[in-house]
Copies of this chain bind each other. A is one copy, B any other.
Amino acid sequence: MEKHWHDACGVFGIYNHGEAANLTYLGLHSVQHRGQESAGIVVSDGRRMRSHLGMGLVHDIFDHETLAKLPGVHAIGHVRYSTSGSSELKNAQPFFVDTVHGPIAFAHNGNLVNAAELRRRLEEQGSIFQGTTDTEVIAHLYARSKEDKLIERLIDALRRVRGAYSLVMLVEKRLVAVRDPHGFRPLVLGKVKDSYVVASETCALDLIEGEFLREIEPGEMLMISSKGLESLRPFPPVEPRHCIFEHIYFARPDSVVFGQSVYNVREAFGRELAREHPVEADVVVPVPDSGIVAALGFSEESGIPFAMGLIRNHYVGRTFIEPEQSIRHFGVRLKLNGVRGVLQGRRVVVVDDSIVRGTTSQKIVKMIREAGAREVHMRISSPPTCFPCYFGIDTPTRTELIASSHSVEEINRYLTSDSLGYLSREGLRKATANGPYVYCDACFTGDYPVPREDPPGPPSC
């Protein structure tokens, strides 16, 4: 189920390709699931940089005409998460400005834990801010750096920030890709013929028939220029801490993220979940689309047949309204409907990736019962999310997370399910096990790899 509980943005960049804007458009389309609020592309023809940004989906913002006005051979692009509140064009990215070093554009996926503090200090030094993104903070730090060289200025800026950042930066003739030392968010390097490509997920490479070379590594700064690739390691090494929620929910199953197939990891979550919380049942039903792969793993391990007992209506777009006068609140019914032919008279295991507030899950349980299910057993392919994420965006506060203040049994009662089982942290570790555990799972443990410095504040990307 889509949750918007901590979302992610998506980035894309391409160097030295005759159709840079077109391929960026396609790349953004591939990572559209990472953000639907706004999108933008900045191109460079080696001398002049141009941009086009807008609110909405990539295919609503760009058409033949707008793409034709973006000539150039290098480009970066960005898609931003979707929430109702703070959505404004001035927060759209790439963030594109003039500095003393010339025009520069930044596309950023992540969240800084000291952005508010840095912003305050920058404002004290006379900086002005038009939006509320962390990206604007990074741009100011870069512009204020006294270093001579672009790469030194960027290092200077990034040494001041703490938190999660997978960042792509474009100047006239160079493209830089950086990942924070912990490597919270994914960022991969690929190639389309002779052109280097960077993207949030490998599925963006697949669409443009590119080759996946490798991940940008945690703490790596990769400069792409006419000289080719130049890799730097400007930060002291720390242990990697990849966001486990990329595997649980964010990334597309057809992507390879943090060295592993998202599909395979997600399926393994389901298998572990079946081992940990077995139940006598007739059918395993996913909450589509996010619960499908884990549900398949659960079915496989448990031997209980898998069925698509909930059908998703994919036509719920940004502009869908709930009729005003209506006394009922339709909510999840607008998106999902139970299949009586699958559910009637059955003992149903329903698999979802996580529970945030619990309200949606409660409605799903009710919907499955209304379709005739005899029993409804809820299985969640991740541990209880008890702590807000400081490295993603749009985090509910702790009090909004039902698991922060309720036991599993209490949640089960709230959902009105017959049983409820969460995957354990141990199960999570096993499922991802290919060596030491390299994930940030602070949302389950409260054990943040980087301490929060800012007070809770506005969302960012």
Contact = CB atoms under 8 A, between A and B. Distances in A.
Interface string A314-350: 1111011101111010100110011111100000000
A307 to B, nearest CB: 6
B254 A339 contact: yes
Given A63-B321, A97-B129, A19 B326 contact: yes
Given A57-B317, A98-B123, A315-B59, A264 B128 contact: no
B330 A207 contact: yes
B313 A261 contact: no
B140 A325 contact: no
Contact of A320 (B29, B289, B321, B326): B29
Contact-residue size bin, chain A (C-beta under 8 Å from the other chain): 35 or more
A32 interface: yes
A99 interface: yes
A96 to B, nearest CB: 7
Contacts of A128: 97-99, 127, 139-140, 143
Contacts of A124: 100
A126 B313 CA distance: 42
Which 6 A-B residue pairings sit nearest by Cβ, starting from the closest?
A: A261-B341, A126-B144, A22-B323, A100-B123, A59-B320, A97-B128
Interface of A: 18-19, 21-23, 25-26, 29-30, 32-33, 36, 57-60, 62-64, 67-68, 89, 96-100, 120, 123-130, 139-140, 143-145, 203, 206-207, 209, 252-254, 256, 261-264, 267, 289, 292-293, 296, 300, 305-308, 311, 313-317, 319-321, 323-326, 328, 330, 333-334, 337-342
5 contacts: A29-B313, A67-B323, A127-B128, A206-B338, A293-B308
